[in-house]
Amino acid sequence: MNRAPYAKNVIAITSGKGGVGKSTISVNLAISLAQKGYKVGILDADVYGPNIPRLTQTDLERIEWNDNNKIIPSENYGLKIMSVALTTPQMDTPLVWRSSVAVSAITQFLDDVEWGELDFLVIDMPPGTGDIQLSISQELPISAAVIVTTPQLISADDVSRSIMMFKQTNVPMAGIVENMSYFIAPDTRIRYDIFGKGAAQRLAKKYDIDFLGEIPLHMRIREYSDLGKPPVVFDDINSSYYNNIINKMLKKGIFNI
């Protein structure tokens, strides 16, 4: 089944647990693709914790419908953007939904949004291995999954389950990204491995998937992200980390481009 025939490629970005920076990575990787001239959409499938609008400075917008009864996606930084956060009356409106309702919402965003023709549809998945992940895996021809973890052992334990889910559902994996990998003290330039070291590389070796790169724990990434100014656009210091990951993925030859 393919609910996104308008997209040449679908990239699913997921994690085993929340709080590892998955949404930040999703936005910056999507923009990196757009900067290369590709037509890119990003779907915020994390319905209980939708962060894509804030990260793309579209959080004050609300959805509108066109004459064809299709939802008009928000746009910024070269991306077409859809999130359940754009449908709620207030930013802090909780979505107290059963999983079946959440899956239906994601299905509507795939079917009823005026995405146009896309080279890439990037999906910011919820953390874990629940109904939404399973439904997307079954109803979309995912070109590649990107797994996000931190070096912390708890994060690595949880991401192992996500890796196995994709293996069991025959979803191809582009590889694993280690976020908040290390911290360089700005005054002494000493490196601190705050959350541990080497977890992503060990997971990549254990499950025979590629290690796509590590992104440091850097104050400017947090500051720019909170302002809706993605580092890949505004931060020359940190943009290379995201661009390098995309370049590695494109060189793998797994995409229809």
Share of the chain above pLDDT 70, in %: 100
Number of domain units in the chain: 1
At 88 the pLDDT is 85
Please report whether residue 241 resides in a domain.
Answer: yes
Beta carbons of 61 and 53 less than 8 angstroms apart = yes
Within a domain: 106: yes
Q: 24 and 158 in contact (C-beta within 8 Å)?
A: no
Nearest to 150 by CA among 130, 180, 171, 175: 180
Among 6-20, 31-45, 56-70, top mean pLDDT goes to: 31-45
Does residue 257 carry a pLDDT above 90? no
Mean pLDDT over all residues of the chain?
A: 93
Long-range contacts formed by 65-73: CB under 8 A, 24+ apart: 66/114, 68/114, 69/112, 70/112, 70/113, 70/114, 71/109, 71/112, 71/113, 71/114, 72/113, 72/114, 73/41, 73/113, 73/114, 73/115
Name the phi and psi angles at 46, rounded to 5: -85, 80
Q: H or E stretch including 76?
A: strand 74-76
What pLDDT is stored for residue 38 in this prediction? Answer: 98
Across 115-137, average pLDDT: 90
Integer Cα distance of 45 and 190 in angstroms: 38
Please report, in angstroms and rounded to a whole number, the separation of the first and last CA atoms in the chain. 21
Asked if residue 1 is part of any domain, the answer here is no
* 256 is a domain residue: no
Which amino acid is residue 194, in one-letter code? I
The domain that holds 81 is classified in CATH as: 3.40.50.300
Position 199 in a domain: yes
Note down the domain range covering 34: 7-251
pLDDT (0 to 100) of residue 80: 98
| E strand or H helix that includes residue 44 | strand 40-44
What is the rounded average pLDDT of the residues 121-128? 91
257 found inside a domain: no
Is pLDDT above 80 for 91? no
